Copies of this chain bind each other. A is one copy, B any other.
């Protein structure tokens, strides 16, 4: 895209500054959400924590909902990226390997920022733009469904949608509960065991 020298679509200083501010605000929001919980995370507190005036905050995010949605989307994207990357690597591999990777990736994804994840899942009111918190699952569902479809003849499943639904929800729920509710289940010496068990659960279901 960049032909000559200096023609590269460099961001203007202003654009750069804006991006900066947006970033700073999202990070401050995440921090405050974790520290104070959703209810006590006021936009004024967030602005102070970000070192940005409340006026500027509203320049970039017109409502509190938009601000929180920003954090949610960023967090979910991060998690999804991990899963997507891992799944891509095994997209053409055997089922047991693929499932194991899915499980490991999902656990890893929940470890990106467990405290933030908990707040987002447990406390954010699902209204407006925030209704779609479960988007990640929908995306994962698509990926898994596509994989199952490709491997259909190896599998003993009647209904691809139900199968994908079960795989994704199950792996997600177990990762979530293990990371957030039973951290001792994921101590170094036991992660392997846990991953094995979940993998077995899914593989047997799929293979029949």
Contact = CB atoms under 8 A, between A and B. Distances in A.
A185 B163 CA distance: 12
Copies in the complex: 4
Interface residues of A, number: 34
Contact of A205 (B39, B178, B204): B204
A202 to B, nearest CB: 8
A125 interface: yes
A12 to B, nearest CB: 15
Most buried by B among A124, A169, A174: A169
Nearest to A163: B197
A200 B193 contact: no
Contacts of A126: 122-123
Interface of A: 37-39, 121-127, 134, 159, 162-163, 165-166, 169-170, 172-174, 177-178, 181-182, 185, 193-194, 197-198, 200-201, 204-205
Given A162-B194, A173-B174, 15 more contacts: A38-B125, A122-B122, A122-B125, A159-B193, A165-B177, A165-B178, A166-B197, A166-B198, A169-B173, A169-B177, A170-B174, A170-B201, A172-B173, A173-B173, A201-B201
